[in-house]
Chains A and B, each alone.
Chain A
Amino acid sequence: MDSPDNGAYMVAAYIVTAVVVLGYAVMLYLRIRKEKRRNT
């Protein structure tokens, strides 16, 4: 049995995951840095 050719969906899902997780991590880091500046 041949496997379906659907690798593009997998690539899209892994890219979305990386973008959202990394994006949120960077956003949190920048928000904390900004808050630290405002606190000093």
Chain B
Amino acid sequence: MTRRERALTTAHRGTIITGIALLGLVGVYVRALMFTPMERSQGLAQKIFYVHAPVAWAALLAFGITGLLSLLYLMLRDRKLDLIAAASAEVGVAFAVVMLTTGPLWGKPVWGTWWTWDARLTSTLFTFLLFVGYLVLRGALTDFEVRGRFSAVLGVMALVLVPFIHVTVYWFRTLHPDPVVMKPEAPSLPSVMLVTLLTSMAVCTLLYVGFIMQRYALAVLRDVREEEAAGGLS
């Protein structure tokens, strides 16, 4: 099987997984909006939590994987690692756009403000901008070796930033609520709400897998075409 054929298979599988995940997202919407009770003190705005928290999980997972693969790329110089890291970064930016939009939409009715420059929000915005810069940098460089090395140095910063974002609510005074699931103690949610949240997290993880497979396949297809073009010219 050629590299191109393998990429096409990955793209096809990624499309199927994305399709399943999108159906799952419809299921999450139905469950969250129609079958999960409203939290009385926050009102309907509390239901934003069922999309905001899972999307934030997917974004930080994506950035964390980019960081890990960037570190491995700097050690091993395997082209595949660089392409997956870049795919993960782009998918992470897409999820982060949702995270940074739904967060203020919850903050305004519950906190009384769209945004506050506390440690959690500021470090999240900084990480988002860092990865936008990562994608711009990749777009600006044409030489594969230089592009891979420079972007990996930027990407590896996620290994520090992602854990830092998680602990900001413990280390600093912040308006942002503490984690309700990813903490040492048992989840602090009624079971009907917890099931909705965990289902949404599973769907977002599946979406991440589908997206990254497609985005990686796209990068390989481009790579193959550019290699063939370069071979044809030489």
Contacts and interface: CB of A to CB of B under 8 A. Distances in A.
Interface of A: 1, 3-7, 9-10, 12-14, 16-18, 20-22, 24-25, 28-29, 31-32, 35-36, 38-39
B72 interface: no
Contacts of B42: 3-4, 6
B211 A20 contact: no
Contacts of B45: 4, 6-7, 9-10
Q: Provide the main secondary structure of the chain A interface.
A: helix
Contacts of A5: 43
B3 to A, nearest CB: 11
Contacts of B29: 14, 18
B215 interface: yes
Most buried by A among B8, B43, B207: B43
A39 B45 CA distance: 47
Most buried by B among A10, A29, A31: A10
Interface residues of B, number: 41
Interface of B: 4, 8, 11, 15, 18, 22, 25, 29, 33, 38, 40-45, 47-48, 51-52, 55, 91, 94, 97-98, 101-102, 105-106, 108-109, 207, 211, 214-215, 217-218, 221-222, 224-225
